[in-house]
Amino acid sequence: MLGFGSIGQAALPLLLRHIDLDSAQITIISRSEDKTGIAADAGVSFVAHPLTEGNFESVLEAHVKEGDFLLNLSVEVASLALLRHCWRRGILYLDTCIEPWPGRSEDPSLPPTRRSNYALREEVLAFRLGKRNGPTAVVTMGANPGLASLFVKQALVNMAADNQLEFAKPACYEDWATLAQALEVKVIHIAERDTQICPERKQRGEFVNTWSINGFVGEAMQPSEMGWGSHERLFPVDAARHGFGCDAAIFLDRPGAATRVRSWTPLEGPYHGFLITHGESISITDHLTLRTDNGEIAYRPTVHYAYHPCDDAVLSLHEFAGKNWQLQERRRIIRDEISAGMDELGVLLLGHRRCAYWYGSRLTIEEARKLAPHNSATSLQVVAGILGGLVWALRNPRAGVVEPDDIDYEAVMEIAVPYLGEMAGVYDDWTPLRGRSALFREDTDPDDPWQFKNFRVT
């Protein structure tokens, strides 16, 4: 295992519970010592050695051999470099996001497109060309990205059944895209509301979150990105296309931490979420694209993240922004001290005949603690995706480089769902125009509520 932050600590007990191996077969490599004692209590080997562009291969050579599995839960270690290393040596691989080496996401000399998740994904897609038959490497397999792509497939199947739409079981990307088009899905949000709290609230000069602060801040400072749908009529004035690759996504010339959108979950109701860049916003859009015979886009949904983190994390982001994006010196990941709350994480499919359909996981902190030690609701949702993807990879060791959208969603969900709390599917008549205040004039498109300008908070 590479990295032993909040997600690594949360994952270790479930790996030992579900994977047929002895603790002596696990080695953890992390940038710093394990001060929690979790690794020592589990009896696994622990190596405190930061990986850099100059030393990662020599460090890995000493610990990871052909036939082994590298579970990458680190930040600021380039995923593509690890992929290449594992591919050449016959090592299986899984990560939860595509990471660059330190500095790339914050380098002002690079144009926004080079600092984007779109560019990172395109580099991985370029690497995997011609590598479909080789050691399995599952990229971006956590909760979101990861389970979110599988939730979309299950939501489409549920909606088709609810609408009595006859269809054959989808067998390829085009089949899924055809189903989404037949259901008239125009927009998909990865709609998440984290309500977990603890008695010691955020203090001045402190960043508080329920998962990796470095990981969250890193993606929050990348350009805001989204998959861009074929129904969209007005291109945002601060947006641009990347000019290379699949062309499924666009980016805004502003960070995700400074971009908010209107969204909805069943328990929270309407809310404002951050349009943080995430890999699934691009991969889902790309995989749900239909083209005409001459290559023109016939159908494609708009897809993006709408994230409302825990309340203390929102306050932390507000302070972070006010200090011109200078990160607070004190940082605190809350887990054992959480006293209440849940993570309501799902996908919101919009624009169809029944307006809105949310499908996803409702996991409370109490349920998470019963299911697995060293977890919050947020971390356990991530670990459920990791576990499902890891088991799938072990059962399919020669699948090459794959995204969550490529793999058998039912097989992964079978492993993940027992750790996701209540799985719910809920219809509603919500639109981003419903209930808007009449006190102030707003620039909206009342003729089509599903236009991005109606979701964006300005």
Nearest to 414 by CA among 147, 17, 71: 147
Beta bridge partners of 190: 305, 347
Predicted model pTM: 0.98
d(CA 417, CA 153) in angstroms, rounded, equals: 14
> What is the arithmetic mean of pLDDT over 204-222?
96
Residue-wise pLDDT tens digits, 397-422: 999 999 999 999 999 999 999 999 99
Local confidence band at 435 (pLDDT 50, 70, 90 cut-offs):
very high
User: Does residue 45 register a pLDDT over 90?
Assistant: yes
| φ/ψ bin of 67: left (φ > 0), alpha (ψ from -120 to 50), beta (otherwise) | left
Residue-wise pLDDT tens digits, 263-320: 999 999 999 999 999 999 999 999 999 999 999 999 999 999 999 999 999 999 999 9
> What is the arithmetic mean of pLDDT over 96-111?
94
**Helix, strand, coil percentages in the chain from 3-state DSSP, rounded to 5:** 35, 25, 40
Which segments within 96-153 are labelled E, that is strand? 137-138
Residue-wise pLDDT tens digits, 70-81: 999 999 999 999
> What is the arithmetic mean of pLDDT over 353-368?
98
Mean pLDDT score of the chain, rounded to an integer? Answer: 97
